Structure 1
């Protein structure tokens, strides 16, 4: 009996993410999970989309045993580090990692197989399907051209078939190998031992009539076309899968490469230890999590919190590795390094969320789980039936084998295999034209089911850049004078708030005697006036007096709107209160209204303060707001919505959104966002504004409708044609043509997506 995973204490258990190689369908997922869970106390969740397994296991179980278990199931595996690099720990246990054939150094990529096979297949198909172009000996030319397509081009499918056969399993690859193999071997037999090689033109039977001379028929065009079409589908699928691990790598690349210690030495980040003091200069990354020992600076934490306004830190404050000091110099004592840092924990959140996504049971694979063995059995029954009825004569053997081949060929899942990738190819191509990048079928399926859209604020609903939203004059100050004088002063500062205020001065005057206190405010001389600007406390300290009622009222009004208040003036008098805030995108309100019109609930989820969040929500018409949430909290909020039975799309742009994007049913990353957010998402927006989010959902839903139609037609065609083939009423030549027509139908149906707006 296995040890209960719930009974063990958390300290006695560990978890790891395994990269799994060689899975092609849902049955592979089940087989890997079953084999891993045979180990004592192990539970596993295998994800076909990310080709990974999240395994929880007792600490006494060695990871080498986990890798060995996967290999015993017929697949290869290695342990994923949080940096995305493989760990060589399994070698000492004799369970070393073997790369997939398509990924080994020197191996042939699928794309190369596709291109070469397509070039060879085109003349084969033309010769086989256009009688007017057939010449004496054309069958031998077809044999020469089709052989590398079937054997070399189709090797990934055949290799998967053989691997699954060793474990008693049949998949879509099995039917591909049987169909192309049977057609190819029959064609070679007909050419070498039959009459096909002696004919200048193909001997044709009736459209729905038994073939009188089966040995005159060759089907090289069928084998070549099927191989090329299915290679195309596999290439599209492979491109989608390879994006999965990029999110974690993008997160870890935020870490500093080296660090300056307090004694002046600059060393690689790997040499930093807990307790070491290091220096952070203006514009530099904070090397690792730590506590400020001395200094003061404004730290840009937007990649962690999502807030556009930098956070002021001084002695005693905590800072996070990967954030940036925008001004000021800090001395920081390292409190966490390596896997213990907050950035590493965020990487693990993304990693776990990706590995824990619901397993994709693609409809074609579910059909093939029953369809493949049924077709094989039907082909065998067809052959035996013809032999029994015909008395095992030469004619009955030829006719029976011809009918059996027709059964396998008509069932060969060309249209079934194309149904999804061709629609995805057209849909994603149209999406790219509209500024929407869709990663694959998982994103489409998720978009079709969502009922709740969660929007990040900064950089998603808003522009993600600070701007002056209001200037309130105090006393008799002239607005033009305020804009010129205060804007000129702020031109000398590098602080993000200062850059927003600096835009007020179209032709700034020179600044002399400039001085500043990091994160608080600045002073200087402009046009002979002693000018100041900064936070209310800084200005009060500069003037040596309390601010008057009008100034405090203007400050309070700005903060109620979610803006940061900059108090400014000159010659010892406050002249204005300048409100600086992130501005709402012009199309946000209309997009929110359109999303709700689709029946979707819209939620604003942000790390920003409640005042700013509610101000933005009111401006765009969002009724539900969740504010002040850190990255870990965003994942928790997504999980809470899941617990309520909601299917959630998360829209965001920052590092702080990456884990939530991966955890949601559908992750949509804004084009202005970070690499980590883009890689963790299912859909990436490259266009401007929030409107492409609406386009993405509409396009995804229509693409899924097309895919369902394609799958229905492909399956219905097989069901209708199989009996005709079994009774000898459909010769293999016409079976191949019918199969090709089903593929054409799927392609034409998919092309309707090009009209989506």
Structure 2
């Protein structure tokens, strides 16, 4: 920018005068800035100079005080090919203050990020509309309204296109039969010539073709010609040029044949009409396929009931879900779906949460238990107090994550966009060159041959398939992942994940359940097992240690009555002592037993337990050894299969944990894990990731706790267990809604399959154009006399787009490893 201007930017992160000084110095040091004034009270910076707002935002970000940004999602109409995407992006990026734009051809949306306050919604709408693509603000994404609106819009569009296609086909059929039938069957040509005459037949074709172009084909001209006049031609421009050229030449041959040489007096009305029919057919199929790409979100949105029974002021009434407020009491009858999130205040029931977590077993819900909107109540009745409504519910956040991932731009898309932005102008230039070469070098009828070749190049080269190749695969792939409980929070993680070579796993809560359980019990002769366990649980009743909790749960699961304990003493590092029913009970390490003089002759060797990662707890009653209890954090049921599957995929599997080395090594040996890093602090996990990355390549880390957040952020792809902490989930790139590690395999499988699908689509789209443009231009004519008909070119072009969409929809059939079948 050359003109001096004053720009005011919002600045975040400032807390004191020294922050103000740093921001001011950073801005003043930027070439082109003549003055910078920073206000801590208003958290703004006013900059005078010739530097644009986007560059100033970069300066603030580098200084550690980023400007505040906002995001608007637009619904963009009339986009038909990849070149349209490039023009919409260019128009929006040209607005001062816009930092990034992501246009999705399949979803027909544009996600615009801009400096807060620098751009208005009206300016964004006007910029897109000015280049020929009418825009509106997308409906709120809360609950997937934008995606369901797209599906409804695509259904309506497909219905309209189908109607127009049928009208065009009915009008075209007599033309096709008259003209093409005469070429195939000479007798039919002779019959027409001797009955109504060829001139009459041509006039009939002129009337019908004009009706086709002016009625069902009118949209190609209404959109394509203005785009051409603005010097930003799109697919509609190609079709308009091609059909108009065929119609114009044929009209001259019909009504002013003297303007053409005798050998050039032929008509191509059928080509113009068939092109319209075939392209409308392709767009009809395309619209229906686009509507199906958002099926996953539609299913998620369908989990949300429209109404709920809400109690206010002692009265229960049916209210729309949008009217529910935080703190309301919601009554849920047996078999009903829960509307929002909350905490149970009355009642008891089993709730099916499989649609959220992927876990097939219903969960017991009683007073104090958390419930999630979208889940299904069992046979009991519940009353719960709402804690999250609207966009804050778990279901709405899941839908939002899927929508964000589906509208994301993958790095691979950048190359496609750069090529296709100039593709349509290049095609028009190539068509003009083709016509010129045929006019100069072609055989008679020169003009007719030049027309056929030029129109075929215009039609066959349309880059529709290129524009659809990436976004449709992303939409279907991330949607299928969501069905399997895998949510891609960042779209580019979909591409990055397929390239990882190492999967590093946290232990507690990821590989294991995260809650120790009683796994082993060996009792001494002369002691009743139930009494030993009951006394040990009673002695541990005052302890908060996880091992104590495991002992108490083990006794409760056996239905034992736990008597009260007195004289409780915690012996640091060794165990506990207490009096239960008049008996002195000791529970702890073997060192405690020896210190207290307990005869350990009958005690079994605990080395075998330790080798399996089980912590031994010795129990003595009245000075006599009574039993050995083993407590361990059990490996989750799906973990062994998940680790084996990851290794079968050619990946190195590592464990990084803060737990002790003996336990970690024992679990790793059991599961077949390749590399173990134990007894590390959170920053040590980051260092371990760096070492593994250097040794093996890109790395994915799977964790669930607050202490895993640094590692999740440091990994090339961070995957958070959805049952873990909010901090871990917010830091991760991918969220696994269930606690099942097999979902990691699903995430990798979806990533690899989607990227393979994108490469197939791009290969087809680019390969199709590379192969057919020369054929359409007539390179085969000197060899075998082949000249591609414009009608066949239209059919091939429509087939290309349909192929890409159909190939992308195959991703819906991916099988889930975590939830087979």
TM above 0.5: yes
Deviation at 1:81, TM superposition (A): 0.8
Q: State the match for 1:132 in structure 2.
A: 185
CA contact (8 A) 1:121 1:145 kept: yes
Structure 1's 422 and 556: CA in aligned 2 closer, same or farther, altered over 3 A? same
- CA-to-aligned-CA distance 1:240-282 (integer Å, 9 cap, x gap): 46635963982695589436448643353544445x3636779
Question: Structure 1 residue 725: deviation in Å?
Answer: 9.8
1:356 is displaced (CA, Å) by 3.9
Map of 2:300 onto structure 1: 250
Contact 1:303-1:655 within 8 A present in 2 as well? no
Q: Report the Cα distance in structure 2 between the residues aligned to 1:42 and 1:379, rounded to whole angstroms.
A: 36
Aligned partners of 1:419 and 1:710 also within 8 Å = yes
TM-fit CA distance, 1:740: 7.2
User: Any conservation in 2 of the 1:463–1:583 contact (CA below 8 Å)?
Assistant: no
Identify unmatched segments of 5+ residues in structure 1. Answer: 88-97, 196-209, 430-435, 483-518, 533-539, 566-572, 643-647, 675-684
- Alignment equivalent of 2:285, drawn from 219, 232, 235: 235
Cα deviations by residue, 1:565-610 (Å, 9 ceiling, x for unpaired): 9xxxxxxx999999987522896455423421xxx6678999xxx9
Q: Corresponding residue for 2:597?
A: none
- 1:278 alignment partner, one of 329, 349, 372: 329
Measured at CA, do residues 402 and 311 of structure 1 come closer, stay the same or move farther in structure 2, by a change above 3 Å?
Answer: closer
Structure 2 Cα separation of the partners of residues 425 and 21 of structure 1: 17
The match for 1:322 is 373
The equivalent of 2:91 in structure 1 is 35
Partners of 1:356 and 1:380 in 2: CA distance: 37
Q: Is 1:16 paired with 2:81?
A: no
Aligned residue for 2:410?
A: 358
In 2: Cα distance, 1:270 partner to 1:554 partner: 63
User: More displaced, 400-409 or 730-739?
Assistant: 730-739
Deviations 1:129-149 (A, max 9, x none): 861377247766877876676
Aligned to 2:538: none
Residues 1:46 and 2:112 aligned together: no
**Cα distance in structure 2, aligned partners of 1:124 and 1:630:** 70
* Residues 1:722 and 2:781 aligned together: no
Residue segments in structure 2 that go unaligned for 5+ positions in a row: 6-51, 193-200, 477-482, 485-489, 531-551, 564-576, 590-603, 617-625, 676-688, 690-699, 815-821
Q: Report the equivalent of 2:704.
A: 629
> Which structure would you say has the larger RCO, counting Cα contacts within 8 Å and 6 or more residues apart?
1
Deviation at 1:114? 5.7
Deviation, 1:560, is: 11
Determine the structure 1 residue equivalent to 2:270: 220
Change (3 A) 1:361 1:530: closer
- Aligned residue for 2:87, secondary structure, equals helix
Residue matched to 1:182: 245
1:39 and 1:746 mapped to 2: Cα distance?
Answer: 32
Other-structure match for 1:82: 141
Q: Could you tell me whether the CA contact under 8 Å between 2:505 and 2:655 is conserved in 1?
A: yes
In terms of Rg, which structure is larger?
2
Change (3 A) 1:697 1:710: same
- Are the counterparts in 1 of residues 454 and 777 from structure 2 also a CA contact under 8 Å? yes
User: Cα gap change, 1:445/1:230 in structure 2, threshold over 3 Å: closer, same or farther?
Assistant: farther
Deviation of 1:169 (Å): 0.5
Residues 403, 725 of structure 1: 8 Å contact kept: no
Structure 2 vs 1, CA of residues 302 and 413 (structure 1 numbering), >3 Å: closer, same or farther? Answer: same
**How far is 1:690 from its partner?**
6.0
Pair 1:749–1:306, CA change in 2 (3 A)? closer
CA distance in 1, matches of 2:800, 2:215: 28
What CA distance in whole angstroms lies between the structure 2 residues aligned with 1:401 and 1:47? 40
Q: Which residue of 2 aligns with 1:450?
A: 498
Contact between 1:320 and 1:342, CA under 8 Å: does it hold in 2? no
Give the distance between the partners of 2:111 and 2:117, measured in 1 at CA. Answer: 17
Name which of 81, 93, 101 aligns with 1:25.
81
Measure how far apart 1:213 and its partner are. Answer: 1.6
Aligned partners of 2:418, 2:427: CA distance in 1, in Å? Answer: 15
State the 1:167 CA deviation.
3.5
Deviation of residue 383 (structure 1)? 6.1
State the Cα deviation string for residues 4-40 of structure 1 (Å, max 9, x = none): 4455987965333222222233443343334334545
Backbone CA RMSD of aligned residues: 7.7
- Structure 1 residue aligned with 2:595: none
Matched, 1:406 2:453: yes
Give, in angstroms, the shift of residue 325 of structure 1: 10
Work out whether residues 98 and 112 of structure 2, in 8 Å CA contact, stay in contact via their aligned partners in 1: no
- Number of residue-to-residue matches in the alignment: 650
339 and 744 in structure 1: CA distance in 2 versus 1, 3 angstrom threshold: closer
Tell me whether 1:63 sits opposite 2:155 in the alignment: no
> Match of 1:46, SS?
strand
- 1:161 aligned onto 2:224: yes
Equivalent position to 2:759, from 687, 704, 707:
704
